[in-house]
Structure 1
Amino acid sequence: MASGGAQRRIVRCPGCGQAQRKDCDGNGRLLGGIAQVFDDSPVKAYRVCPRYKGRYQRRGQKFDNLFDPDVEGKERNALLEVPATWRSLTKIRLRELPDVGSRPTGESLGPYESFQVEDVIRKDGQHFLKLAGKTGWAFDRGIVGAWDGKPICERLG
Protein backbone atom coordinates (compact mmCIF):
# COMPACT_ATOMS: atom_id res chain seq x y z
CA MET A 1 0.00 0.00 0.00
CA ALA A 2 1.15 3.49 -0.73
CA SER A 3 1.69 5.76 2.22
CA GLY A 4 -0.98 8.32 2.92
CA GLY A 5 -3.97 6.48 1.42
CA ALA A 6 -5.45 3.35 -0.02
CA GLN A 7 -4.32 2.08 -3.42
CA ARG A 8 -7.06 2.16 -6.06
CA ARG A 9 -7.56 -1.03 -8.10
CA ILE A 10 -8.13 -0.53 -11.84
CA VAL A 11 -11.01 -2.53 -13.28
CA ARG A 12 -10.28 -3.65 -16.82
CA CYS A 13 -12.96 -3.90 -19.49
CA PRO A 14 -13.26 -7.52 -20.71
CA GLY A 15 -14.09 -6.22 -24.19
CA CYS A 16 -11.02 -4.08 -24.86
CA GLY A 17 -8.64 -4.67 -21.91
CA GLN A 18 -8.34 -0.96 -21.07
CA ALA A 19 -9.55 0.72 -17.90
CA GLN A 20 -13.31 0.28 -17.81
CA ARG A 21 -15.29 3.46 -18.26
CA LYS A 22 -18.28 4.22 -16.05
CA ASP A 23 -20.64 4.05 -19.05
CA CYS A 24 -19.17 0.76 -20.40
CA ASP A 25 -20.93 -2.58 -19.96
CA GLY A 26 -17.90 -4.68 -20.99
CA ASN A 27 -19.61 -6.06 -24.11
CA GLY A 28 -18.90 -3.26 -26.57
CA ARG A 29 -21.76 -1.06 -25.42
CA LEU A 30 -21.58 2.46 -23.99
CA LEU A 31 -24.61 4.05 -22.38
CA GLY A 32 -26.11 6.71 -24.57
CA GLY A 33 -29.16 8.95 -24.72
CA ILE A 34 -31.09 9.66 -21.53
CA ALA A 35 -29.19 6.98 -19.60
CA GLN A 36 -26.10 9.22 -19.68
CA VAL A 37 -27.97 11.95 -17.80
CA PHE A 38 -30.00 9.89 -15.33
CA ASP A 39 -28.34 6.82 -13.78
CA ASP A 40 -31.67 5.37 -12.65
CA SER A 41 -33.46 5.79 -16.00
CA PRO A 42 -35.59 2.76 -16.93
CA VAL A 43 -34.80 3.44 -20.60
CA LYS A 44 -31.33 2.28 -21.57
CA ALA A 45 -29.92 3.30 -24.92
CA TYR A 46 -26.49 2.06 -25.97
CA ARG A 47 -23.97 2.93 -28.65
CA VAL A 48 -20.97 1.00 -29.94
CA CYS A 49 -17.75 1.42 -27.93
CA PRO A 50 -14.96 2.51 -30.31
CA ARG A 51 -12.35 0.56 -28.27
CA TYR A 52 -14.23 -2.77 -28.34
CA LYS A 53 -12.23 -5.60 -29.95
CA GLY A 54 -15.00 -8.14 -30.52
CA ARG A 55 -17.99 -8.51 -32.75
CA TYR A 56 -20.67 -6.10 -31.62
CA GLN A 57 -24.12 -7.66 -31.30
CA ARG A 58 -27.17 -5.49 -31.02
CA ARG A 59 -29.56 -6.51 -28.25
CA GLY A 60 -32.81 -5.19 -26.93
CA GLN A 61 -35.72 -3.48 -28.53
CA LYS A 62 -35.72 -1.27 -31.60
CA PHE A 63 -36.97 2.25 -30.99
CA ASP A 64 -39.73 1.80 -33.60
CA ASN A 65 -41.17 -1.04 -31.52
CA LEU A 66 -41.00 0.83 -28.20
CA PHE A 67 -44.59 2.03 -28.35
CA ASP A 68 -45.98 -0.86 -30.44
CA PRO A 69 -43.92 -3.91 -29.43
CA ASP A 70 -45.73 -6.30 -31.76
CA VAL A 71 -45.19 -4.38 -35.01
CA GLU A 72 -43.20 -7.24 -36.54
CA GLY A 73 -45.77 -9.75 -35.29
CA LYS A 74 -48.60 -7.76 -36.90
CA GLU A 75 -46.76 -7.68 -40.22
CA ARG A 76 -46.04 -11.39 -39.95
CA ASN A 77 -49.69 -12.14 -39.18
CA ALA A 78 -50.80 -10.12 -42.23
CA LEU A 79 -49.05 -12.77 -44.35
CA LEU A 80 -51.52 -15.34 -42.99
CA GLU A 81 -54.61 -13.49 -44.23
CA VAL A 82 -56.49 -15.17 -47.09
CA PRO A 83 -57.66 -14.88 -49.77
CA ALA A 84 -54.69 -12.90 -51.01
CA THR A 85 -52.71 -12.18 -54.15
CA TRP A 86 -49.02 -13.01 -54.18
CA ARG A 87 -46.29 -12.69 -56.82
CA SER A 88 -43.32 -14.97 -57.43
CA LEU A 89 -39.87 -13.39 -57.71
CA THR A 90 -38.34 -16.38 -59.50
CA LYS A 91 -39.48 -19.73 -60.84
CA ILE A 92 -41.12 -21.75 -58.03
CA ARG A 93 -41.84 -25.47 -58.28
CA LEU A 94 -45.07 -26.40 -56.52
CA ARG A 95 -45.04 -29.18 -53.92
CA GLU A 96 -47.61 -31.86 -53.11
CA LEU A 97 -47.71 -30.97 -49.39
CA PRO A 98 -46.86 -27.92 -47.24
CA ASP A 99 -43.33 -29.15 -46.59
CA VAL A 100 -39.99 -28.25 -48.24
CA GLY A 101 -39.15 -31.97 -48.40
CA SER A 102 -42.38 -32.84 -50.22
CA ARG A 103 -42.27 -34.05 -53.82
CA PRO A 104 -42.80 -31.53 -56.64
CA THR A 105 -46.16 -31.73 -58.46
CA GLY A 106 -44.66 -30.97 -61.87
CA GLU A 107 -46.37 -27.56 -61.98
CA SER A 108 -44.54 -24.30 -61.35
CA LEU A 109 -44.93 -20.55 -61.20
CA GLY A 110 -42.94 -18.35 -63.54
CA PRO A 111 -40.91 -15.32 -62.46
CA TYR A 112 -43.15 -12.35 -61.52
CA GLU A 113 -46.32 -14.40 -61.97
CA SER A 114 -49.23 -13.28 -59.78
CA PHE A 115 -51.29 -15.98 -58.11
CA GLN A 116 -54.20 -16.33 -55.69
CA VAL A 117 -53.64 -17.96 -52.30
CA GLU A 118 -56.50 -19.69 -50.50
CA ASP A 119 -54.63 -20.98 -47.44
CA VAL A 120 -51.37 -20.18 -45.62
CA ILE A 121 -49.54 -22.32 -43.09
CA ARG A 122 -46.54 -20.95 -41.16
CA LYS A 123 -44.05 -23.67 -40.21
CA ASP A 124 -40.29 -23.70 -39.54
CA GLY A 125 -39.78 -20.10 -40.70
CA GLN A 126 -41.59 -20.70 -43.99
CA HIS A 127 -45.02 -19.62 -45.17
CA PHE A 128 -46.58 -22.40 -47.22
CA LEU A 129 -49.07 -21.07 -49.73
CA LYS A 130 -51.98 -23.17 -51.08
CA LEU A 131 -52.69 -21.86 -54.54
CA ALA A 132 -56.27 -21.35 -55.70
CA GLY A 133 -56.99 -23.13 -58.98
CA LYS A 134 -53.74 -25.13 -59.00
CA THR A 135 -52.65 -28.36 -57.40
CA GLY A 136 -49.88 -27.83 -54.91
CA TRP A 137 -48.19 -25.56 -52.47
CA ALA A 138 -45.53 -22.85 -52.85
CA PHE A 139 -43.38 -21.44 -50.07
CA ASP A 140 -42.09 -17.92 -49.54
CA ARG A 141 -38.34 -18.51 -48.93
CA GLY A 142 -35.82 -20.21 -51.16
CA ILE A 143 -34.13 -23.41 -50.03
CA VAL A 144 -31.27 -23.84 -52.53
CA GLY A 145 -28.77 -21.88 -54.60
CA ALA A 146 -28.72 -18.10 -54.81
CA TRP A 147 -32.24 -17.91 -53.34
CA ASP A 148 -31.43 -19.95 -50.21
CA GLY A 149 -33.07 -18.19 -47.24
CA LYS A 150 -34.20 -15.25 -49.34
CA PRO A 151 -37.80 -14.33 -50.23
CA ILE A 152 -38.91 -16.00 -53.48
CA CYS A 153 -42.40 -14.50 -53.49
CA GLU A 154 -44.20 -11.54 -51.97
CA ARG A 155 -47.70 -10.67 -50.88
CA LEU A 156 -49.28 -7.91 -52.94
CA GLY A 157 -51.60 -5.21 -51.62
Structure 2
Amino acid sequence: MASIIAVIGFRKSGKTTIIRELLHSLRDKVVIIKDIHDYGQEFDSRNKDTWIFSREGAYAVVGLAPDKTHILVNSPIELNEVIQLMLNVVKPRYVILEGFKNKIKDRGDVIKIITLRSIDELSELANGVKPPMLVYCGFCGCNINGCISSMDQLVNAVLRIINEH
Protein backbone atom coordinates (compact mmCIF):
# COMPACT_ATOMS: atom_id res chain seq x y z
CA MET A 1 0.00 0.00 0.00
CA ALA A 2 1.33 3.41 -0.93
CA SER A 3 1.85 6.13 1.65
CA ILE A 4 0.11 9.40 0.80
CA ILE A 5 1.67 12.71 1.81
CA ALA A 6 0.03 16.11 1.20
CA VAL A 7 1.95 19.38 1.29
CA ILE A 8 -0.41 22.25 2.10
CA GLY A 9 0.35 25.97 2.04
CA PHE A 10 -0.28 29.23 0.29
CA ARG A 11 1.55 30.28 -2.90
CA LYS A 12 5.27 30.85 -2.43
CA SER A 13 5.29 29.07 0.94
CA GLY A 14 7.87 26.44 -0.02
CA LYS A 15 5.64 23.54 -1.09
CA THR A 16 7.76 22.79 -4.15
CA THR A 17 10.98 22.88 -2.11
CA ILE A 18 9.55 20.41 0.40
CA ILE A 19 8.28 18.09 -2.35
CA ARG A 20 11.67 18.15 -4.08
CA GLU A 21 13.37 17.26 -0.79
CA LEU A 22 10.92 14.42 -0.14
CA LEU A 23 11.36 13.18 -3.70
CA HIS A 24 15.14 12.97 -3.22
CA SER A 25 14.92 11.52 0.31
CA LEU A 26 12.31 8.83 -0.32
CA ARG A 27 14.32 7.33 -3.20
CA ASP A 28 11.57 5.05 -4.39
CA LYS A 29 8.71 5.08 -6.87
CA VAL A 30 6.96 8.42 -6.24
CA VAL A 31 3.86 9.86 -7.93
CA ILE A 32 3.21 13.57 -7.52
CA ILE A 33 -0.28 15.02 -7.99
CA LYS A 34 -0.45 18.81 -8.16
CA ASP A 35 -3.51 20.97 -7.58
CA ILE A 36 -3.59 23.54 -10.41
CA HIS A 37 -6.00 26.38 -9.69
CA ASP A 38 -5.97 28.21 -13.01
CA TYR A 39 -7.83 27.41 -16.22
CA GLY A 40 -5.74 26.89 -19.35
CA GLN A 41 -2.54 26.30 -17.40
CA GLU A 42 0.29 24.73 -19.38
CA PHE A 43 1.61 21.43 -18.13
CA ASP A 44 5.23 20.33 -18.15
CA SER A 45 6.52 23.71 -19.31
CA ARG A 46 10.14 24.53 -18.56
CA ASN A 47 10.67 25.53 -14.90
CA LYS A 48 7.05 24.86 -13.87
CA ASP A 49 6.62 22.59 -10.83
CA THR A 50 5.41 19.66 -12.93
CA TRP A 51 8.44 19.96 -15.22
CA ILE A 52 10.80 20.14 -12.23
CA PHE A 53 9.24 17.13 -10.48
CA SER A 54 9.43 15.05 -13.65
CA ARG A 55 13.09 15.83 -14.25
CA GLU A 56 14.07 15.29 -10.61
CA GLY A 57 12.91 11.71 -10.49
CA ALA A 58 9.16 11.47 -9.99
CA TYR A 59 7.89 8.29 -11.58
CA ALA A 60 4.70 10.06 -12.65
CA VAL A 61 3.41 13.63 -12.37
CA VAL A 62 -0.27 14.52 -12.62
CA GLY A 63 -1.78 18.01 -12.67
CA LEU A 64 -5.43 18.47 -11.72
CA ALA A 65 -6.83 21.72 -13.14
CA PRO A 66 -10.41 23.00 -13.19
CA ASP A 67 -10.69 22.37 -16.93
CA LYS A 68 -8.52 19.28 -17.50
CA THR A 69 -6.41 16.57 -16.01
CA HIS A 70 -2.83 16.66 -17.16
CA ILE A 71 -2.21 13.05 -17.99
CA LEU A 72 -3.47 13.86 -21.46
CA VAL A 73 -7.12 13.66 -20.45
CA ASN A 74 -9.10 16.67 -21.67
CA SER A 75 -11.62 16.69 -18.87
CA PRO A 76 -11.34 17.06 -15.11
CA ILE A 77 -11.08 13.93 -12.98
CA GLU A 78 -11.68 13.82 -9.21
CA LEU A 79 -8.64 13.53 -6.92
CA ASN A 80 -9.65 10.16 -5.44
CA GLU A 81 -10.09 8.69 -8.92
CA VAL A 82 -6.64 9.91 -9.98
CA ILE A 83 -5.05 8.51 -6.81
CA GLN A 84 -6.75 5.17 -7.47
CA LEU A 85 -5.65 5.22 -11.12
CA MET A 86 -2.03 5.86 -10.13
CA LEU A 87 -2.17 3.15 -7.44
CA ASN A 88 -3.55 0.63 -9.94
CA VAL A 89 -1.39 1.52 -12.94
CA VAL A 90 1.89 2.87 -11.56
CA LYS A 91 1.84 1.05 -8.20
CA PRO A 92 3.97 3.69 -6.43
CA ARG A 93 5.45 3.41 -2.97
CA TYR A 94 4.55 7.05 -2.28
CA VAL A 95 1.98 9.55 -3.54
CA ILE A 96 2.74 13.20 -2.82
CA LEU A 97 -0.07 15.71 -3.19
CA GLU A 98 0.57 19.42 -3.58
CA GLY A 99 -2.43 21.28 -2.22
CA PHE A 100 -5.92 19.74 -1.99
CA LYS A 101 -6.41 20.77 1.67
CA ASN A 102 -10.20 20.73 1.51
CA LYS A 103 -10.25 17.32 -0.18
CA ILE A 104 -7.89 15.55 2.25
CA LYS A 105 -8.25 17.39 5.58
CA ASP A 106 -10.50 14.66 7.06
CA ARG A 107 -8.45 11.72 5.80
CA GLY A 108 -6.49 9.87 8.47
CA ASP A 109 -4.56 7.94 5.81
CA VAL A 110 -2.87 11.10 4.47
CA ILE A 111 0.17 12.64 6.18
CA LYS A 112 -0.36 16.39 5.98
CA ILE A 113 2.53 18.85 5.97
CA ILE A 114 1.51 22.46 6.49
CA THR A 115 4.12 24.95 5.35
CA LEU A 116 4.00 28.52 6.62
CA ARG A 117 5.20 31.86 5.29
CA SER A 118 4.25 33.43 8.64
CA ILE A 119 2.77 32.27 11.92
CA ASP A 120 -0.43 34.14 11.05
CA GLU A 121 -1.25 31.48 8.44
CA LEU A 122 -1.27 28.57 10.89
CA SER A 123 -4.84 28.90 12.16
CA GLU A 124 -6.30 29.16 8.64
CA LEU A 125 -4.28 26.30 7.17
CA ALA A 126 -4.61 23.94 10.14
CA ASN A 127 -8.31 24.64 10.76
CA GLY A 128 -10.22 21.36 10.55
CA VAL A 129 -7.20 19.31 9.49
CA LYS A 130 -7.10 15.92 11.22
CA PRO A 131 -3.90 14.05 12.12
CA PRO A 132 -1.42 12.97 11.06
CA MET A 133 -0.24 16.54 10.56
CA LEU A 134 3.17 18.24 10.68
CA VAL A 135 3.80 21.99 10.67
CA TYR A 136 6.95 23.21 8.93
CA CYS A 137 8.16 26.69 9.86
CA GLY A 138 11.54 26.50 8.17
CA PHE A 139 10.56 29.30 5.82
CA CYS A 140 8.79 31.62 8.25
CA GLY A 141 11.18 31.00 11.13
CA CYS A 142 8.52 31.33 13.84
CA ASN A 143 9.87 28.31 15.73
CA ILE A 144 6.78 27.95 17.89
CA ASN A 145 6.48 24.82 20.00
CA GLY A 146 5.60 21.84 17.84
CA CYS A 147 6.78 23.33 14.54
CA ILE A 148 9.54 21.65 12.60
CA SER A 149 12.23 24.07 11.50
CA SER A 150 14.70 22.00 9.49
CA MET A 151 14.21 19.96 6.33
CA ASP A 152 16.05 16.97 7.83
CA GLN A 153 13.70 16.96 10.83
CA LEU A 154 10.71 17.17 8.49
CA VAL A 155 11.83 14.23 6.34
CA ASN A 156 12.60 12.17 9.46
CA ALA A 157 9.18 12.98 10.95
CA VAL A 158 7.45 11.91 7.71
CA LEU A 159 9.43 8.65 7.60
CA ARG A 160 8.62 7.98 11.28
CA ILE A 161 4.87 8.39 10.60
CA ILE A 162 5.12 6.12 7.55
CA ASN A 163 6.90 3.44 9.55
CA GLU A 164 4.32 3.65 12.35
CA HIS A 165 1.46 2.95 9.95
Q: So what's the TM-score if we normalise by structure 1?
A: 0.19
Larger RCO: 1 or 2 (CA < 8 Å, sep 6+): 2
Greater fraction of residues in strand: 1
